Amino acid sequence: MAAHRSGPLKQQNKAHKGGRHRGRGSAQRDGKGRLALKSLSKKVRKELSRVDQRHRASQLRKQKKEAVLAEKRQLGSKDGPPHQVLVVPLHDRISLPEAFRLLQDRDAGTVHLNEWGSTHSFMLLCPSLKHRWFFTSARPGDLHTVLDLAKVADSMLFLLDPLEGWDSTGDYCLSCLFAQGLPTYTLAVQGISALPPKKQVDARKKLSKVVEKRFPDDKLLLLDTQQEAGMLLRQLANQKQRHLAFRDRRAYLFAHDADFVPNEENNLVGTLKISGYVRGQTLNVNSLLHIIGHGDFQMKQIDAPMDPFPLNPRVIKSQKDSGMAMEICATDAVTDMEEDLKVLMKADPDRQESLQTEVIPDPMEGEQTWPTEEELSEANDFLKESSKVVKKVPKGTSSYQAEWILDEDGESGGEDDECDDEEHEDFMEEESQDESSEEEEEEECETMTIGESVRDDLYDEKVDEEAEEKMLEKYKQERLEEMFPDEVDTPRDVAARIRFQRYRGLKSFRTSPWDPKENLPQDYARIFQFQNFTNTRKRIFKEIKEKDVEGAEVGWYVTLHVSEVPVSVVEYFKRGAPLAAFSLLPHEQKMSVLNMVVSRHPGNTEPVKAKEELIFQCGFRRFRASPLFSQHTAADKHKFQRFLTADMALVVTVYAPITFPPASVLLFKQNSNGMHSLVATGHLLSVDPDRMVIKRVVLSGHPFKIFTKMAVVRYMFFSREDVLWFKPVELRTKWGRRGHIKEPLGTHGHMKCSFDGKLKSQDTVLMNLYKRVFPKWTYDPYVPEPVPWVKSEISTVPEMDMK
């Protein structure tokens, strides 16, 4: 039989080409029910040609170059503030007076030496370079002075030793400066010409390798001759400025002069007159002023005296001799200052920011008002409905007779509820007594032996035995926390249901709900909270960028009249300490809960416990507080950490004034000798009182008898009532089993438990309990002055043999 063949009129279909493109039908089927993407921007995006794209890119590059050049020309010019340079010698062998002698080139310009205090500083006016500098200095051992001056300095000049670069004190100072944020900096080597000519090349090579660790791709300049000092000045003038975020959005000022006018009623408080150049942003008299290390204050008025250090001084020709000219220098300008003094702005009481830092809590705010008649009738109806009980009664029984018929148990349920309420009230009465002994009973420590070492009498005299014992106890607790995290022994003298009555069990720490407004402490009534902190921050920053503010412009020499300032601020200034002031953004004087992400500094090995008093440097503020430590996660609940660990970043929670990020954070700890040692560094995360820090307590028990998936567990509790109280809480084991309590056995705390698998005899049964913790209100804006660091004082903690 012949095979069928298709005729000439047979339809020929095209072969399917899979993988090249999708057809319209398949695209419609895949996108069924989906809406078209809406444009987020109201502006119509115009497609530019390639030539237009290149032209726009070149315009943007040109605008950025012009902005950088304008910033360079503004800084140190006749219309801008002087170029403030902080000189920091990083080694003991550096001669600071010799460096200042070289920089004070009287041939290049005019030098005005500082007349107040003991701090080395001078003003250098160079008409040939069209630039003016203000040089200040600080020793790296005086750490807080270096950090405060670095906050307001435009550039930093680090002086290095030709052989070692920097010593241990200089290295410690650099660590703090890098953590706070470095402005523009320059590296200069002093004393390399004093070396033999053959060793100079090798010294520069070795120094370059040392400097690469801290300052990669940075040039080393020399500072041994007048010519090298001139090259260094040109380098400082032509450098591109680096910006610090926390000061670019605020007006700030370094005090060149200060005067104090006491009040008539009280001589200890008065008006402080600070004179200096405005930097950063326009300074408004109605905003608040923060003086670093002294607190927040209000301003009365802003005066505009004549600039005492003009780049081009005024020239007055004499009437007798027209060829003779006289220049008015800074000393003559002081005498004419009162004549040229004019008031820029005076504070408006209606628009001035308030100094209120806390909310005054109303004790009657949580009280109920007397209910209305409608609410009373609704409550009675609800009570009647809830009191109806379904009972089995014989046929023909009236409702009156049914009330006298008892249940099968012979008791009503209301009496049990009343007993439970009475027990709960007893627990709450004893709660305050138990809370005081909570920390002592919470963690049990094991004993440890320390090898004896032979010490001479001179060494023993310097050892503080009490401080050694406290530090040893901290090391023990930190080691126990690493080995047995959150584990606590159940007390035998107090019932577990009373000792842990504030704790609760959670099915899942990550997903179980927890209301952030539940059981808040009394201190939360004193703080401020934003409805949306991120939107408020964006709005304030946008207003700074776009809105024109009335006040003193950047570069003006002004005198600020600050009211209600204690006389100790002027005494601090007259001792030679620097005085710097920052204007505050809206709400930055109010108290709230700050969260900061920090990492432990590698140079610090001593244990740091939670709720221990630390010294904070947050942006431009410095204060003391007792923080909480918690894990840095993306969940809604964050586990409390008892110690500041070295292997991961933690979040520090503390009561403090509101500060808008970004802001750098440094944590210091005051030692027994008065010095401040750097503990951790990081940045400000958020201002959020609703961030929940959850403390975990782990109770442990041991399997006594094991029957496949059932086991008898002991030593977790020591009474039958405690077992019944914690029966709903889930159990877990160190080897990954999960289970729950079936029933108590006997009266000594033994309990029958069931698990999802067979239990091993060497396993440990655990129960997790949780409670929310809050920081302590220990905020103190006044930090005592630390003892300066000495090279011999900086040492690492010796390792301990812990067994």
Tokens of 559: 């005198």
Q: Which of 90, 184, 204, 175 is nearest to 139 (CA)?
A: 90
The pLDDT, as a whole number, for residue 729 is: 93
Spatial separation of the C-alpha atoms in residues 95 and 509, rounded to whole Å: 59
The pLDDT, as a whole number, for residue 290 is: 93
Spatial separation of the C-alpha atoms in residues 720 and 727, rounded to whole Å: 11
Three-state DSSP class for residue 21: coil
The conformation of residue 501, written as its DSSP 8-state character, comes to: T
Tokens of 69: 């050049």
Q: Side-chain half-sphere of 566: how many Cα atoms within 13 Å?
A: 9
Tokens of 734: 């160190």
Q: How many residues are recorded in the chain?
A: 803
The pLDDT, as a whole number, for residue 139 is: 86
Spatial separation of the C-alpha atoms in residues 642 and 769, rounded to whole Å: 16
Euclidean distance between the first and final Cα of the chain, in Å?
Answer: 98
The pLDDT, as a whole number, for residue 118 is: 44
Q: Is the CATH code 2.40.30 the one for domain 251-310+340-354+551-583?
A: yes
Spatial separation of the C-alpha atoms in residues 57 and 227, rounded to whole Å: 41
Residue 385, C-beta contacts closer than 8 angstroms, at least 6 positions apart:
none
The pLDDT, as a whole number, for residue 428 is: 47
The answer to whether 97 and 112 have CB atoms below 8 angstroms apart is no
Spatial separation of the C-alpha atoms in residues 257 and 237, rounded to whole Å: 25
Q: Which of 437, 429, 442 is nearest to 695 (CA)?
A: 442
The pLDDT, as a whole number, for residue 425 is: 45
Residue 663, C-beta contacts closer than 8 angstroms, at least 6 positions apart:
245, 246, 618, 619, 683, 684
Helix (H) or strand (E) holding 62, with range, is: helix 50-74
Q: At the topology level of CATH, where does 72-238 sit? A: Rossmann fold (3.40.50)
The answer to whether 680 and 657 have CB atoms below 8 angstroms apart is no
Low-confidence ranges of the chain (pLDDT < 70): 1-3, 17-23, 30-46, 72-74, 76, 106-108, 115-119, 313-341, 363-370, 384-464, 468, 474-477, 480-484, 789-803
Which residue spans within 708-757 are E strands per DSSP? 710-714, 731-733, 738-745, 750-755
- Entry pTM: 0.74
The answer to whether 441 and 498 have CB atoms below 8 angstroms apart is no
Amino acid making up residue 566: P
What backbone torsions phi and psi does residue 273 show, to the nearest 5 degrees?
-105, 110
Instruction: Note whether 72-238 and 251-310+340-354+551-583 share their fold.
Output: no
The pLDDT, as a whole number, for residue 774 is: 94
Peptide bond into 197 cis (omega under 30): no
Spatial separation of the C-alpha atoms in residues 711 and 408, rounded to whole Å: 35
The answer to whether 127 and 315 have CB atoms below 8 angstroms apart is no
* Distance set, CA 688 to CA 94, 304, 582, 684, 772 (Å): 47, 40, 24, 11, 15
Provide the Cα torsion 299, 302, 307, 308; round to 10°. Answer: -50
What backbone torsions phi and psi does residue 146 show, to the nearest 5 degrees?
-65, -45
Three-state DSSP class for residue 792: helix
Spatial separation of the C-alpha atoms in residues 586 and 74, rounded to whole Å: 28
- What CATH number was assigned to the domain covering residues 487-504+694-772? 2.40.10.190
Helix (H) or strand (E) holding 496, with range, is: helix 496-499
Amino acid making up residue 278: V
Taking the CB of residue 608, how many other CB atoms lie within 10 A of it? 19
The pLDDT, as a whole number, for residue 319 is: 40
Spatial separation of the C-alpha atoms in residues 610 and 129, rounded to whole Å: 54
The pLDDT, as a whole number, for residue 337 is: 47
Where in the chain are the domains?
72-238, 251-310+340-354+551-583, 487-504+694-772
The answer to whether 599 and 682 have CB atoms below 8 angstroms apart is yes
The conformation of residue 367, written as its DSSP 8-state character, comes to: P
The pLDDT, as a whole number, for residue 587 is: 92
Spatial separation of the C-alpha atoms in residues 618 and 665, rounded to whole Å: 5
- Could you report the per-residue pLDDT of 524-550, keeping only the tens digit for each? 989 999 999 999 999 999 998 888 888
